[in-house]
Amino acid sequence: MQTPRLKSNPPLTSYLVRRGVFRDQPFVLVDVGASGGIDRYWEVFGKDLTAFGFDPLIKEVDRLNSSAPHPNHRYYSYLVGDKTYATPQDVPDTQPFMRTSAVRAAEITNCNYTTTYYDQTGSGQISNEMIELDQFFLRDHPIDVDFIKVDTDGSEYQVLRGAKQLLSTRHVLGLGVECQFHGLVHNESSVFRNIDRLLVTLGFSLFDLEAYRYSRAALPKPFVYAIPAQTQEGQLMWGDDLYLRDAGNKHYERDWSMTLPPLKIIKLACIFEIFGLEDRAAELMLKYRSELGALINVSDCLNLLTPLRGGQKVDYAEYTRHFETNPSSFHPKTT
């Protein structure tokens, strides 16, 4: 996830880490498509982060393991998916990626995208061994997963199919999933509509989507970054999607037959904050105030989530009082 709303130093999460709230039950992150390493914004958890990274690039995984900042960060050179999945056959394909200026630029410059941007060793050696997340985390290496990031450039749906038991029976709090908007016209293809349907039926809600556009090679538009990838204009083609459990909904437990333990509620609030959703973190803490009281001071946490008011720091009670007494003061300033 690359959304500009990400918080590099989230005050609530930083405070809870300093207080040792996660010392006995670290935050557990799973990164599928981990070339380049774990995203930096998770470093706020420090030594209270346990991370599992998966990528088929064998030498890149070796490099990541040799440079891992903490012994609780471990990378594995596996393909991740669903061993029972069969690619749909004889159906229309709406994927226009091969006609984009990104592909043409790579051809012109003789750029091997994998060895140039994903595999820092330049090897490109790929593992052909596949695992399923259900197999890995429910049987081989059982652990209580908190968040899963999936970025495999096209097989995200297969990864999620291979994690259905994990997602439906355990307290996984959220997922960051790269989604294609175009592809095989089939209800089992790896495109946004199928990924969204699968995750929504498992109790997750879409909270954010950062969209990427690609121009056609027939009339190239400027690239967003100094690499042959997304462009400033063009057709909507990919998105980084954030799915989380909307446990602030008063009927969540009834609707999904799932009750999150207090520490899981706190971790979910931290995820909300990290992704710029402090309002949802506040809603969550208010709903579970009595359950969280033995672990944290909820009032202090609400104050840490509260934004500045007129450039000044105010507490949560004062901030919400401003809204309740004068909602129009939250309108944009006009000149």
| Full pLDDT tens readout for the chain, 335 residues | 455 467 678 999 999 999 999 999 999 999 999 999 999 999 999 999 999 999 999 999 999 999 988 889 999 999 999 999 999 999 999 999 999 999 999 999 998 888 888 878 889 899 999 999 999 999 999 999 999 999 999 999 999 999 999 999 999 999 999 999 999 999 999 999 999 999 999 999 999 999 999 999 999 999 999 999 999 999 999 999 999 999 999 999 999 999 999 999 999 999 999 999 999 999 999 999 999 999 999 999 999 999 999 889 999 999 999 999 999 989 998 76
What global pTM score does this model have? Answer: 0.95
Which alpha helices (DSSP H) does the chain contain, by range? 11-18, 58-67, 101-108, 113, 133-134, 156-161, 164-169, 192-201, 252-256, 262-274, 278-287, 289-292, 298-305, 316-325
Pairing of strands 205-214, 235-244: antiparallel
List Cβ neighbours of 152 (8 Å cut-off, separation of 6 or more): 32, 33, 80, 159, 178
Nearest-5° Cα angle at 177, 137 to 175:
50
Dist CA 150 CA 34 (whole Å): 9
**Structure tokens that stand for 224 in this block:** 């967003």
Which alpha helices (DSSP H) does 38-171 contain, by range? 58-67, 101-108, 113, 133-134, 156-161, 164-169
Kindly report the CATH number that applies to the domain delimited by 11-281: 3.40.50
Domain boundaries, the chain: 11-281, 297-335
Pairing of strands 147-150, 79-80: unpaired
**Structure tokens that stand for 74 in this block:** 């471990």
Please check whether residue 261 is in contact with residue 288, taking contact to mean a CB–CB distance below 8 angstroms.
Answer: no
Give the total residue count for the chain.
335
